[in-house]
Amino acid sequence: MATGRSIPTLEDVARGAGVSTATVSRSLNSPERVGEKTRDRVLKVVEQLGYTPNFAARVMAAKRSFTVGAIIPTMENAIFARGIQAFQEELYRRGYILLVSSFLYDPTIEKDQIRNMVARGADGLLLIGHDRDPDIYTYLEKQNVPSLVAWTYDESAARPSVGFENRSSMEKLAQEVLKYGHKKIVAIMGSSKTNDRVRQRIEGIKDALAQHGSNSEYLEVVESTHDVESAGDAFEALMRRKSPPTAIICGNDVLAVGAVQRARKLGINIPENVSITGFDDIELARIVNPPLTTVHVPHREMGRRAACELVDMIEKQVPGNSIELETTIMLRESLRSPPPS
> Given the rule CB under 7 A, which residues bind DNA?
7, 9-11, 18-23, 25-26, 28-29, 32-35, 37-39, 51, 53-54, 57-58, 60-62
Task: Tell me how far apart the alpha carbons of residues 268 and 118 are, in angstroms, rounded to a whole number.
Answer: 50
Q: Which is nearer to DNA, 2 or 158 (CB)?
A: 2
Question: Dihedrals φ, ψ of 210, to 5°?
Answer: -60, -45
Q: Which is nearer to DNA, 35 or 339 (CB)?
A: 35
Q: List b or e across 266-300, with b for residues whose CB sees 16 or more CB atoms inside 10 angstroms.
A: eebebbeebbbbbbbbbebbeebebbbbbbbbbbb
Task: Tell me how far apart the alpha carbons of residues 152 and 204 are, in angstroms, rounded to a whole number.
Answer: 13
Question: Dihedrals φ, ψ of 325, to 5°?
Answer: -105, 150
Q: Which is nearer to DNA, 7 or 97 (CB)?
A: 7
Asked if 121 is part of the footprint of a second copy (rule: CB under 8 A), the reply reads: yes
Alpha helices in the chain (DSSP H): 10-17, 21-29, 36-49, 55-62, 78-93, 107-119, 134-143, 166-179, 196-211, 228-239, 253-266, 283-287, 299-316
CB of 258 to a second copy, least distance (A): 10
Q: Which is nearer to a second copy, 80 or 153 (CB)?
A: 80
Within 46-85, which residues bind a second copy (CB under 8 A)? 50, 52-57, 59-60, 65, 67, 74-76, 78, 81-82, 84-85
Instruction: Look up residue 60 and give its amino acid.
Output: M
Site size toward a second copy, by CB under 8 A: 54
Asked if 313 is part of the footprint of a second copy (rule: CB under 8 A), the reply reads: no
CB of 34 to DNA, least distance (A): 4
Candidates 30, 144, 215, 341: give the one binding a second copy (CB under 8 A).
Answer: 144
CB of 149 to DNA, least distance (A): 28
Q: Which is nearer to DNA, 14 or 178 (CB)?
A: 14
Q: Alpha carbon of 267 to those of 186, 195, 249, 264, 277: distances in Å?
A: 20, 33, 20, 5, 18
Candidates 33, 120, 183, 193: give the one binding a second copy (CB under 8 A).
Answer: 120
Q: Which of 233, 198, 230, 254 lies closest to 80, judged by CA?
A: 254
Instruction: Give the sheet arrangement for strand 220-223, strand by strand.
Output: 220-223, 185-189, 247-250, 275-277
CB of 175 to a second copy, least distance (A): 28
Q: Which option in DNA, a second copy, none does residue 76 bind, with CB closer than 5 to 8 A by kind?
A: a second copy
CB 309 within 8 A of CB 320: yes
Q: Which is nearer to DNA, 37 or 240 (CB)?
A: 37
Q: Which is nearer to a second copy, 3 or 30 (CB)?
A: 3
CB 110 within 8 A of CB 69: no
Asked if 293 is part of the footprint of a second copy (rule: CB under 8 A), the reply reads: no
Q: Which is nearer to DNA, 18 or 181 (CB)?
A: 18
∠ Cα 279 206 175 (to 5°): 60
- Name, in order, each residue with C-beta under 8 angstroms of 195's C-beta and a sequence gap of 6 or more: 105, 129, 131
Query: Residues interacting with a second copy, by CB under 8 A?
Result: 3, 5, 7, 50, 52-57, 59-60, 65, 67, 74-76, 78, 81-82, 84-85, 88-89, 92, 97-102, 104, 109, 113, 115-121, 139, 142-144, 228, 257, 261, 283-284, 286-289
